[in-house]
Structure formats: C-alpha cells, structure tokens
Amino acid sequence: MNGRTIVVMAAAIMLATATSCGRFPQKGGAPQPAASAAAPMVARAGMPAAVQGAEPAPRIATAPGAESTPQIGFNSSAPSITETLEKTVDMLLQAKAENERLKLALADSDRKTAEKDAKIQELTKQLDVASGDVGKLQEALEKWKSDVLGFRDEMRKADEAEIQVLQEILMLLKGFAKEKPTQ
C-alpha cells in the first residue's frame, strides 16, 4: 500500500464513522444509516468486514416539536476505532520511513562493498605482479650466489696453482743457488 491509499482508507473510515454517529446530517434533516457513499470506498480500500459493516451509533432522540436537526451521538467504539486508525497510520508511516532508511543504508553498503571488491581485485593483481618480481629476484640471487661461490672455488684453485708454481720456482732457485758456489 502506498501513502495515498492509506489516507483514502483513513478518510473513508472517518467519514463512515462520522456519518454513522450523526455528525453529518443527510439531506432531509434526518440522519441516515451507515450505508452511505463512503461504504463502497471502504470496501474498495480493503477494510475488514467488521469495520465495513459496523452498526450505526444509537441516536439521541429529539423531543416532539423540537427542531429536526439531529444531535451528535457517539457509540463507544467510534473514538477507539479512530484512535486505532490514527495509531496504525502513524506506525505504518514510521515503518515506511524506517524501510526507506534501511533501503538507503543497504544501497550505501552495496556501493561501499563494490568499491572494496574493486580495490581487492586491484590489490590482488598488484600482489601477483610483486610475487612474480620477488620470484625473479630470488632466482637472480641464487645465480649470483652460485657465481660468487664458483668464483671463490676458481680463486682457490688458481691460488693453489700459483703456490705450487712458486714452490717449484723456489726449489729451482735453491737448486741453482747450491750449484753456483761450486763453480
């Protein structure tokens, strides 16, 4: 139901209640029963049958010879129906406002979620790229380590070869030095 339907229902019930209570005199000066022009509106508005077929309020009789203007008479249920209708309409309007507030909050949450999902996707792509770069760096580091360690091994072998050659040279020089004084 929209707000307009509620207002039409409320107006129809109030009109039917007021007519049945004698608030609005009908043509001819005598009060008419509750089956007025408002009854079809009430029926179309989807009101419960108990409200549609409510008994008219008892009338206060006028004295013979007195004016034919009817007195206002209320049955005991008329004010409570009106009050209940007003409370129900207020509750419905509050619920409708709360519903709209919740719809706006949901839309805002959906928007924020979509933004966060997009950011997560972007960060995931960046993480994948960075992970690939780290893998490449690790491979390069391992290659460098093997090159450095291999170079160390080569240097050790070269040093050993140099030491061996120097030892041979020293042996030759020692042998040459021994031969010189004998001459």
pLDDT tens for 85-95 read 889 999 999 99
CA neighbor of 47 nearest in space, from 73, 15, 94, 72? 15
Q: DSSP state, 19?
A: H
Residue 58 phi/psi, 5-degree rounding, is -65, 145
Rounded to an integer, what distance in angstroms lies between the CA atom of residue 145 and that of residue 147?
5
> Which pLDDT score, from 0 to 100, does residue 146 have?
83
Quickly tell me which residue has 């450095």 as its tokens. 148
Q: Which residue has the tokens 């839309």?
A: 107
Predicted local confidence at residue 5, as pLDDT: 72
pLDDT at residue 182 in the model = 54
**Prediction pTM value:** 0.37
Judging by beta carbons within 10 Å of its beta carbon (0-12, 13-18, 19+), is residue 56 exposed, middle or buried?
buried
Question: Which of 86, 43, 14 minimizes the C-alpha distance to 23?
Answer: 14
Per-residue pLDDT tens digits for 8-28: 777 777 766 666 555 555 455
Mean pLDDT of 152-169: 90
CA distance 17 to 55: 10
Residue 100 has pLDDT above 90, yes or no: yes
Contact predicate 17/81, CB 8 Å: yes
